Amino acid sequence: MQASPTLSQPARRSSWSNNLSWFLLPPITVFVLITVLFAWVASQYQQQHEGRIFTGVTVWGQDLSQLTQSEAELALSRAFPYAATNGVVLRDPDTGQQWSYTPAELGIRFDIEKTVAAAYTIGREGDMLQSRLYAWYYGTSVTPVILFDEARLDVVLNQIAAEINHPPTDATLIYSGRDVDYTPAQPGRFLDVADARERLLDPLANLRHVEIELLVHQISPQVISTAAAAQQIEQIISSPMTFYLENPLAGVDFANLTISQEELTSWLRIALRDQSGGIATYDIQIDENALRHWLSQHEAAIYREPVNARFYFNDNTRELVLVERHINGRTLDMEGTVAQFMAQVQTPYRAVPLILKDIVPVVHAEATAQELGITELVSESTTWFYGSSDSRKHNIARSAAKFYGIVIAPGEEFSFNKYLGAISEDEGYETGLIIIGGRTIKGVGGGICQVSTTVFQAAFWAGFPIRERWEHGYQVYYYNDGEGPGMDATVFSPIVDFRFVNNTPHHLLMENYYNEQYQSLTVKFYSTSMGREIVKGQPIITNETPPNPDVYEFNPELPEGTIEQVDWAVGGSRVTITRQVFNYLGELIADDVFVSNYIPWQNVYQYGPRTPGYPDSYLYVPPAEEDEE
């Protein structure tokens, strides 16, 4: 009977597997034991260094193994005292003076905390196992954290420079009476801060002690000797210098201007002209800048503003007709005057003429309408003053004459008060009734506002920008005719003005016409039309209030027993006027609002002495009548 092969094969396999298991068991066991041992050693190593720097970590050769951060900071502070020791010496080569500093005083600082923190992170960041083994076996050196504040170094060097530096001292003039003496020159010294800084950077950055001889530059004075110039100096300061006007205006110009000997002395300058063979020669000069400054203080007194010519426009010939010639202005010719002074200061001739320049105005007597752009009527306005007193009419005519024929330049701001000038009887104005502080009293100049109102209305219709305009305190009936309320303009020189700007590229001619027969004043503006369209809104009247009660005033100058009304009642209100200005293309270029706030006013009567029913006192207000039921 044949044996079955299937029974013997499993037996052979089982025997082989058992043998292999016994063969692998020892190395596996050893591997496991080693792994466990390594883990235990690593754990013990970790516990040993808990809160401490790992073994093998050093800073500048200082072993920090197993130290806490506080212990490491203390060890490093003791091991490296460089920053706190006097190791930098700077020396002045001329005087021998020395300055000693610690590196810390020059901006060097060893940041121990950051350095120890960097050492502590070894083995605690990245591949921790590898970095710990590397430190333990090979050692790991941590670069110290050094901070260098270069700004601090600059501060120290600048402090030393402040001690060393001083400017050179020129030989100077000492003047007392007629005696001339001089102080000797002194050289200056200047520390080369940039050189010192450059030579300190390397040793400080590399933590080395160093001793440096500072580079100090010598600065020679410009004026070394003045002995040879004594005679020339004595001539310059021998006596005062006087400036004078060759053609002074009588009663207007100043007297002569004098420069004292003391001032001349202070202006003296000794300048090095040439130097060869060790012998220097000098020019003795006056400081021209000092002279110019002195003259500039008198420029305003010398200056005279030119006065434009005055014209009227001939509507038939369309040409200008001269009314009043121009007057040239004048200004100081600074350079010419300085040159004349310098030519005479070293001579016995001590009186110097002031050199002047004429200022010819653009609007001179020969100017033509075409040159100035005055070619047509661009706006006009008329106001009426019927019922005015003779004195008021006179003042209107007198003040209007101030404005006849004036020419306003392109871009110029017109000021009513500038041309009006002083208001006094000496200027031809008469005394009449004026309103001040709510009372009607005698004063000079009543009626001038008729002119300012008419000019305002002409400027309004020309589309000019109005820079300053003030309404009257209450509505005055003279100004409501024609343009209606809200179109008046009061002035009170020099506080209250009326101003507008000629915002065109052409000159503007102003004419005015006083008409005694029609009791009217017309102002005309001539220039070149800009094609403007002016749209005036209807007056918007709000806040209306009734007039105040009548007032009676005692006037001792009136005839006995007479009563005369001097002012008329009017209610108070707020009046708003709008103005739109369109250019020749129909584009809106100005949208203006003029607001006038008027207080209520009363009838004012004045009565003479011994008027029945009225006391001879300054002001009397009758009691109000009781309303009847």
pLDDT band for position 131 (50/70/90)?
confident
Which residues contact residue 220 at a Cβ distance below 8 angstroms, ignoring those fewer than 6 apart? 168, 187, 188
Q: What percent of the chain has pLDDT over 90?
A: 44
Which residues contact residue 174 at a Cβ distance below 8 angstroms, ignoring those fewer than 6 apart? 180, 181, 182, 183
Q: What percent of the chain has pLDDT over 70?
A: 85
Q: C-alpha distances in angstroms, 13 versus 19, 21, 23, 63, 179?
A: 10, 13, 15, 62, 138
Q: pLDDT value at position 251?
A: 77
Residue 625 has pLDDT above 50, yes or no: no
Q: Which residue has the higher pLDDT, 445 or 157?
A: 157
Q: pLDDT value at position 276?
A: 59
Q: pLDDT value at position 510?
A: 98
Residue 357 has pLDDT above 60, yes or no: yes
The separation between CA 618 and the C-alpha centre of its own chain, rounded to angstroms, equals: 54
Could you tell me which of 228, 340, 333 has the C-alpha nearest to residue 286? Answer: 340
Mean pLDDT taken over the chain: 85
Residue 20 has pLDDT above 70, yes or no: no
Which residues contact residue 16 at a Cβ distance below 8 angstroms, ignoring those fewer than 6 apart? none
Q: pLDDT value at position 181?
A: 67
Q: pLDDT value at position 4?
A: 42
Q: pLDDT value at position 147?
A: 80
Q: C-alpha distances in angstroms, 18 versus 2, 23, 28, 359?
A: 30, 9, 16, 131
* Burial environment of residue 95 by CB neighbours within 10 A (0 to 12, 13 to 18, 19 or more): exposed
Q: Which residue has the higher pLDDT, 102 or 597?
A: 597
Residue 291 has pLDDT above 70, yes or no: yes
Which residues contact residue 285 at a Cβ distance below 8 angstroms, ignoring those fewer than 6 apart? 268, 269, 270, 271, 342
Residue 624 has pLDDT above 50, yes or no: no
Q: Per DSSP, which regions of 423-481 are E strands?
A: 431-436, 439-444, 466-468
Could you tell me which of 516, 533, 510 has the C-alpha nearest to residue 586? Answer: 533
Residue 515 has pLDDT above 90, yes or no: yes
Q: pLDDT value at position 42?
A: 65
Could you tell me which of 539, 373, 529 has the C-alpha nearest to residue 463? Answer: 529
The per-residue pLDDT for range 236-288, each reduced to its tens digit, is 888 899 999 998 887 778 889 999 988 988 888 766 666 655 445 667 788 99
Architecture of domain 227-359: Roll (3.10)
Residue 15 has pLDDT above 70, yes or no: no
- Once rounded to an integer, what is the mean pLDDT over residues 396-411? 97
Ranges of CATH 3.10.20.800 domains, the chain: 227-359
pTM: 0.60
The per-residue pLDDT for range 442-496, each reduced to its tens digit, is 778 889 999 999 999 999 999 999 999 999 988 888 888 889 999 999 998 889 9
pLDDT band for position 234 (50/70/90)?
confident
* Burial environment of residue 2 by CB neighbours within 10 A (0 to 12, 13 to 18, 19 or more): exposed
Distance, in Å, from the CA atom of 432 to the CA atom of 438, rounded to the nearest integer, reads 16
Q: pLDDT value at position 369?
A: 96
Element (H, E) at 79: helix 69-79
Residue 13 has pLDDT above 60, yes or no: no
The per-residue pLDDT for range 302-354, each reduced to its tens digit, is 999 999 999 999 999 999 999 999 999 999 999 999 999 999 998 999 999 99
pLDDT band for position 619 (50/70/90)?
low
pLDDT band for position 534 (50/70/90)?
very high
